[in-house]
Structure 1
Amino acid sequence: MTTANTPFEILGEDGIRQLCEDFYRIMDSRPEASELRAMHAEDLGPVTEKLAEYLTGWMGGPPRYADKYGTVCLTDSHAAYHIGPEERDQWLWCMEQALAESQAPEELREMLRIPLQRIADAVRNRDQPSATKRDPNVIAAG
């Protein structure tokens, strides 16, 4: 019997999609993520789809995002947003909550912890929390 080696093999495409839906539902409904939520458009459908496509490839599955949009530079696509430590930590908190809700095995949560922290910190482009918010309609197109 073989064991799963990649997050994609553990979650599968449907599991990744569900993780992204849970992530944005949590972000949308929890006050702990209010600054992060303020950076997003009212309709979270398009960004949910993009995150699922991105994570599918990032986690070792088919390169859905790259096939559709080409290569991605996360720092470029997030440059228009004030992402400081608070926003970064809110993103990580939402992802951790979504992983917990999905009942992802601890092995997977541990496997993703450091790489997700690195991604979240890579898109951080400010040292301080945001005093003003960006246009919430921009991220849906980004």
Structure 2
Amino acid sequence: MTEDKRETIYDIMGGARTVRMLVEAFYPRVQQHPLLAPLFPSDIHPVMEKQYLFLSQFFGGPSLYSDQYGHPMMQARHLPFPVTKERADAWLGCMSAAMNDIGMPQDLKDFLLERLQGPAYHFINTSDSD
């Protein structure tokens, strides 16, 4: 197998279709979550599209986010929002539930959530006491 043929996480999880399904299952949960909903605009569709582009790239798919918006600089993009550990946990909980909703196998779900924990906790920029 050549280096060009290496399978990515994106490929293993089912590519664009699965990432799209995950994003579509995730954001309704975010919009209903009392800690997360206030951080998002009422028109969630642009956020969903950016998340689709980002997750595609994050999991080893095409560089859709960078191609459209430049370097992700995700920590800087999250600075205007009060991200607490409690909110990071809630975000991961919504993502876990969305993975269940789309029927993701448990071993793949566990692996993806482990990968997402790093960024989720890296974006914490305020204490839980706000």
Q: Tell me whether the two structures share a fold, i.e. TM-score over 0.5.
A: yes
CA–CA distance in structure 2, aligned partners of residues 101 and 39 of structure 1: 23
CA–CA distance in structure 2, aligned partners of residues 28 and 20 of structure 1: 12
TM-score (norm: length of structure 2): 0.89
Higher relative contact order (CA closer than 8 Å, sequence separation 6+): 1
What is the aligned partner in structure 1 of residue 60 from structure 2?
60
Residue by residue, what CA displacement relative to the aligned partner does 1:18-67 show, whole Å, maximum 9, x if unpaired? 101110011123xxx21211110001000000000000011111010000
Q: Which of 27, 31, 52 is equivalent to 2:30? A: 27
Opposite residue 125 of structure 2, the aligned amino acid is: N
Opposite residue 31 of structure 2, the aligned amino acid is: D
Instruction: Identify unmatched segments of 5+ residues in structure 1.
Output: 131-142
CA–CA distance in structure 2, aligned partners of residues 7 and 106 of structure 1: 15
Q: After TM superposition, which residue ranges in structure 1, 4 or more long, deviate above 2 angstroms?
A: 4-7
Q: Does 1:18 align with 2:21?
A: yes
Instruction: Identify unmatched segments of 5+ residues in structure 2.
Output: 1-5
How many residues align structurally? 124
> Percent sequence identity over matched residues?
29
Opposite residue 26 of structure 1, the aligned amino acid is: R
CA–CA distance in structure 2, aligned partners of residues 42 and 21 of structure 1: 15
CA–CA distance in structure 1, aligned partners of residues 65 and 52 of structure 2: 8
Change (3 A) 1:73 1:97: same
CA–CA distance in structure 1, aligned partners of residues 10 and 41 of structure 2: 28
Instruction: Note if contact 1:85-1:129 (Cα within 8 Å) is conserved in structure 2.
Output: no
Shift of 1:129: 4.1
